[in-house]
Amino acid sequence: MRIISLLMGAALGMAAALNAYAGSNLLSDPGFESGTPVAGAIGGWATVVDAAFSQTYHHSGAWSMENYYEPSGFHGVSVQAVAATPGAGYTLTGLGFTPAALSSSSSGTLILFFTDAGGGLLGQYLSSAPLDSASPAGTWIQLSVSGTAPANAASVYAETSLWNPGPGDTTYFDDLSLTVVPEPSVLAGLSAGLGLLYFSRNKINGALKTSLSRFEAGQIWR
């Protein structure tokens, strides 16, 4: 009985830990408060091209990520990589802001994508709904994009992007979050384990009650 109770406690603890992990933010420096880019995009944000940490506008804290127009560029990008679990679902959320209306060619988005162990792109770049010329200026807007890691995914990337900006176009991003939903087979295995433990506990409880009844009736002697 004590063993089954201990196993049930351990299984429930595992379930609680799994739920906590599923809801935790996987990103380092999600609000850009470090103010410092990280080479390689692991453990922080790499400002790949036409992007920079900024204190001009921010939703919380003192910093945000600015993606901006440069005459020689066409795509402002900052990016961060996190180890991926094949089959797991990922959701990237955050807030986007434009101080002035963007040009008709420009769009600011959050992007999610997956790579294999060699850095090769798997599938497509997944994009949130864009900040564009129709988006209200001077307002922080919630953005979100989701995707499932392919079978041989090694990394998932979170990206802020300003695509094809015109002169003067700028977007800011703040308070990003990357969360994971565990692979369905993991949840199924945990559910099956909990079910088996529950069945075993009930079966043992039933056997103990039968033995106790027989003992009280004098059919079992010490």
Could you report the per-residue pLDDT of 41-66, keeping only the tens digit for each? 999 999 999 999 999 999 999 999 99
Q: What is the model's pLDDT at position 183?
A: 60
Band of residue 23 on the pLDDT scale cut at 50, 70, 90: confident
Which residue ranges form the domains of the chain, and what is each CATH number?
A: 25-182 (2.60.120.260)
pLDDT at 18 over 60: no
pLDDT at 221 over 60: no
Q: What is the model's pLDDT at position 9?
A: 42
Between 204 and 168, where is the model more confident? 168
Q: What is the pTM of this model?
A: 0.76
Task: Give the pLDDT confidence of 118-177 residue by residue, as tens digits.
Answer: 999 999 999 999 999 999 999 999 999 999 999 999 999 999 999 999 999 999 999 999
DSSP string, the chain: -HHHHHHHHHHHHHHHHHHHHHHS---SSTT-TT----GGGBSS-EEEESEEEESSS-SSSS-EEEEE--TT-SEEEEEEEEE--TT-EEEEEEEEE-SSPPPTT-EEEEEEEEE-TT--EEEEEEEPPPB-TTSPTT--EEEEEEEE--TT--EEEEEEEEESPPTT-EEEEEEEEEEEE--HHHHHHHHHHHHHHHHHHHHHHHHHHHHHHHHHTTSS--
Q: What is the model's pLDDT at position 3?
A: 46
Q: What is the model's pLDDT at position 73?
A: 80
Mean pLDDT value of segment 13-27: 61
Cα 55 versus chain centre, distance:
25
pLDDT at 4 over 80: no
Band of residue 69 on the pLDDT scale cut at 50, 70, 90: very high
Mean pLDDT over each residue of the chain, to the nearest integer: 82
Q: What is the model's pLDDT at position 206?
A: 52
pLDDT at 111 over 50: yes
Least confident residue range of 24-33, 149-158, 178-187, 209-218: 209-218
